[in-house]
Amino acid sequence: MGLLNRMGTVVKAKMNKLVDKMEDPRETLDYSYQKQLELLQNVKRGVAEVTTSKKRLELQKAKLNLNIDKLSGQARDAVKAGREDLARIALERKNGLMSQVQSLDQQIDDLNKEQEKLQATERRLSAKVESFRTKKETIKAQYSAAEAQVKITESITGISEEMADVGLAVQRAEEKTEDMKARSAALDELLEAGTLEDFTGGDDDIEKELAKISATSNIESELESLKEEVGK
């Protein structure tokens, strides 16, 4: 179990590192802003629905008030005509409609309070969303600037490292060149001193022999001249 736990921890650490590398804060901010806009839209939709319901009840109330006025007129006409029975029926219906109006008034008042509450919520949420949008754009701009600076710094660092490698290569080349020059000079010096024999220069051997013969001839000739001078 200890090994499995360690492996699980390693896998989680690797996954977290991978997710962190893949995550773009700008995309996360845009996603959060979009979600807030959706929430704000839902609140606005709720305000519209409550307002629509309230208007519907107000229209229904207005229609009931028209019927109430109509029944009041009918009751008055019935009384004038001596038909109290009809007037009583009209007044009973009127009373029932007035009860409905009172119920509608209560519902309309409740919806009006709900509407005001939702509108206040909408205003607060709108302010928060706008504030978040401003902050989001600021953070995105700062992140983009920092990202660009990092890329520039990485490029400069890469150039510096590359130039350092080039410098080392040049130094090694110069050292090898100097070493080769030193070896060449040493070999030339050894050849001239006769320490080393040049087996590749056949023509040089012939020249040396010819030079020896010429030198010997010169010496003999000069010696004969000296003898003649002394004899005289």
How many angstroms separate the CA atoms of 217 and 209, rounded?
12
Give the pLDDT confidence of 67-99 residue by residue, as tens digits: 999 988 999 998 888 888 889 998 999 999 999
In this structure, the chain runs to a length of: 232
Whole-model pTM: value is 0.52
102: which 2 tokens?
């009172």
Report residue 225's pLDDT band, with 50, 70 and 90 as the boundaries: confident
How many angstroms separate the CA atoms of 83 and 80, rounded?
7
Mean pLDDT across the stretch 203-217?
Answer: 68
More confident position, 93 or 5: 93
Give the number of other CB atoms < 10 A from CB of residue 148: 10
More confident position, 215 or 3: 215
Q: What is the pLDDT of residue 19?
A: 46
Report residue 128's pLDDT band, with 50, 70 and 90 as the boundaries: very high
CB 129 within 8 A of CB 33: yes
Mean pLDDT across the stretch 180-191?
Answer: 73
More confident position, 36 or 18: 36
Is residue 2 scored above 70 in pLDDT? Answer: no
Give the pLDDT confidence of 138-179 residue by residue, as tens digits: 988 888 888 888 888 777 776 666 666 666 777 777 788 887
Q: Which residues have a Cβ under 8 Å from the Cβ of 84 and sit 6 or more positions away?
A: 78
Architecture of the domain spanning 2-156: Orthogonal Bundle (1.10)
Q: What is the pLDDT of residue 5?
A: 59
Is residue 182 scored above 80 in pLDDT? Answer: no
Q: What is the pLDDT of residue 115?
A: 93
Mean pLDDT across the stretch 212-229?
Answer: 72
Q: What is the pLDDT of residue 180?
A: 78
At position 116, the amino acid (one-letter code) is E
Q: List the domain boundaries for the chain.
A: 2-156, 201-231
More confident position, 201 or 222: 222
Q: What is the pLDDT of residue 15?
A: 56
228: which 2 tokens?
């003649």
More confident position, 217 or 107: 107
Q: What is the pLDDT of residue 102?
A: 94
CB 87 within 8 A of CB 78: yes
Q: What is the pLDDT of residue 203?
A: 52
How many angstroms separate the CA atoms of 229 and 223, rounded?
10
CB 97 within 8 A of CB 64: yes
Burial per residue of 47-66, b for 16 or more beta-carbon CB atoms within 10 angstroms, e otherwise = beebbeebeebeeebeebee
Helix axes 84-193, 25-80, angle to 10 degrees: 170
